[in-house]
Amino acid sequence: MSQAGIAQPQARSLRSHWSRRLLGFLVVAGPGIIVMIADNDAGAVSTYTQAGAQYGTKLLWVLLLLLPVSYFVQEMVARLGIATGQGHAAMIYRRFGKWWGRFSLFDLLLVNFLTLVTEFAAISLASSKLGIRPELGVPLGAVALLFLVGTGSYRRWERMTLLLCGLDLAWFFLAWKAGPDIRAAARDTVIPALPQGGATSGLIFLVIAIVGTTIAPWQLFFQQSCVADKRLRFADLGWARLDTFIGAVVVVAVAGCMMLVGDAFHRMGGTFEDPAQMAAALTPVLGRTGESLILLMMANAALLGATAISLSSAWAWGEVMEWRHSLQMSIADAPGFYAVYIACVALAAGLVLIPGAPLQTIIVSVQVLAGVMLPSAIVFLQLLLNDREILGERFVNRPWNNAVNWTVIAVLFALSLVLAVQVIAPDTLSASPIPQPSGQGEPQ
């Protein structure tokens, strides 16, 4: 390490074994927690609160099932990123060729952009309900997103983003204020059961929406690029796994809290339209502070989702084009990378402000494209994790990894197919409409 010409690493000396372990974890933590909590974006707030508003606590068990699934998928991404030092888009492009590489990149950019539009739609809705005109609130959100990444420091971005993730914990306060039936919630979390009325098409598609919300394509690309940008080392894998696991636990717990807030609305007998309408209706239960907090959490979720989604696009594009792409670089040093990020944010924010923009069509398109994207992205992930030529015996999937992951892939394929068939050809499966984030679902 003390070779001439090589800079000495900046080390922090510690004397206690425990403080060394804690700091060892803290310097590695970030990508896993951020990718998971950013997944609770505006669409997730809408989906989870709608699930609570329509079915009370009856779908909490779905979240518990999704905890190991989301952990296993994201752990693979972290492992691949640490082993290769490359992003997911770069690995697909280089190992599977230009056709699959460009398909994955195009699909990712398209679905990310449309999802980004829904994030800004949520910012617009939340700001208008908070008394801020969308013409002011949306550009302010866009500027905040640009400021977040434009400092030329990965660490600064990570700390600010983790702070936003921390704000998400306010959902625990909201859930407590909602006064849930703890015993019923605990029972419905651990014992899978169907709500009253059985497996209606509305319920099936809401469950699919929850699965699709919890495991999104951009997450694979984001975490692997983030791990590569942070330059996590082979020896950091254990802490990266813990980081991902903590993120998975928090995201599922926060999602459960959102369902509990929705459950309060369910007990009032309200008809769900969107989280903002639900927040206003819950004022007698949560107070004015609670209503404002839900709206602020909506905006926070949208901002978190927007920065992660835009970054996954910018990293992926930069990797495939072989541009310089790192949050450690200034805008002048990585102009293409930042240009993609800025373009995504600016175009999505601008689109939301256009009067009469087809937001509902965009929401449906996001569902279809995410349905197409997730299985393909996850298949490439699974194949790459079995690529012994790159990973060797140390990082390659174990047989039990493969058994779990192929099961997850089969289930996701089936669910995505059912959702896509229902959206594209609604008469094929059922006449019942798909629950939309705007709340046009099937009330119980």
Q: Given the rule CB under 8 A, which residues bind other proteins?
A: 1-2, 6-7, 9-15, 17, 20, 23-24, 27-28, 83-86, 91, 94-97, 100, 154-155, 230-236, 328, 371-372, 375-376, 379, 382-384, 386-387, 389-392, 395, 413, 417, 420-421, 424-425
Buried b (16+ CB within 10 A) or exposed e, 309-343: bbbbbbbbbbbbbebebbbebebeebeebbebbbe
Nearest distance from C-beta of residue 314 to other proteins, angstroms:
19
Nearest distance from C-beta of residue 386 to other proteins, angstroms:
7
3-state secondary structure 397-418: CCHHHHHHHHHHHHHHHHHHHH
The first and second tokens of residue 272, run together, are 């769900």
93-96, long-range: CB < 8 A, 24+ apart: 93/319, 93/320, 95/384, 95/387, 95/390, 96/380, 96/383
Nearest distance from C-beta of residue 236 to other proteins, angstroms:
6
Which of 159, 186, 164, 162 has its CA nearest to residue 64?
186
Please report where in the chains the tokens 């690309």 appear, as a residue: 221
Of 292 and 402, nearer to other proteins (C-beta) is: 402
3-state secondary structure 306-333: HHHHHHHHHHHHHHHHCCCCCCCCCCCC
Of 318 and 371, nearer to other proteins (C-beta) is: 371
Please report where in the chains the tokens 């944010």 appear, as a residue: 345
Of 296 and 391, nearer to other proteins (C-beta) is: 391
Of 11 and 354, nearer to other proteins (C-beta) is: 11
Of 97 and 284, nearer to other proteins (C-beta) is: 97
Nearest distance from C-beta of residue 91 to other proteins, angstroms:
7
Of 136 and 424, nearer to other proteins (C-beta) is: 424
Of 85 and 443, nearer to other proteins (C-beta) is: 85
Nearest distance from C-beta of residue 407 to other proteins, angstroms:
15
**Strand, coil or helix: 130:** coil
Q: Do the Cβ atoms of 320 and 99 come closer than 8 Å?
A: no
Of 15 and 183, nearer to other proteins (C-beta) is: 15
Please report where in the chains the tokens 């990718």 appear, as a residue: 35
The first and second tokens of residue 285, run together, are 């239960």
Q: What single string gives the DSSP state of each residue in 252-301?
A: HHHHHHHHHHHHHHHHHTPPPS-HHHHHHHTHHHHHHHHHHHHHHHHHHH
Measuring CA to CA, how many Å separate 207 from each of 41, 55, 204, 218? 17, 11, 5, 20
Nearest distance from C-beta of residue 96 to other proteins, angstroms:
6
Of 153 and 444, nearer to other proteins (C-beta) is: 153
Nearest distance from C-beta of residue 86 to other proteins, angstroms:
6
Alpha carbon 311 to its chain's center: 12
Nearest distance from C-beta of residue 306 to other proteins, angstroms:
24
Which of 344, 307, 326 has its CA nearest to residue 155?
326
Distance, CA of 348 to CA of 113 (rounded, Å): 7
Of 11 and 431, nearer to other proteins (C-beta) is: 11
Nearest distance from C-beta of residue 231 to other proteins, angstroms:
5
Q: What single string gives the DSSP state of each residue in 41-82?
A: -HHHHHHHHHHHHHHTTTTHHHHHHHHHHHHHHHHHHHHHHH
Nearest distance from C-beta of residue 7 to other proteins, angstroms:
8
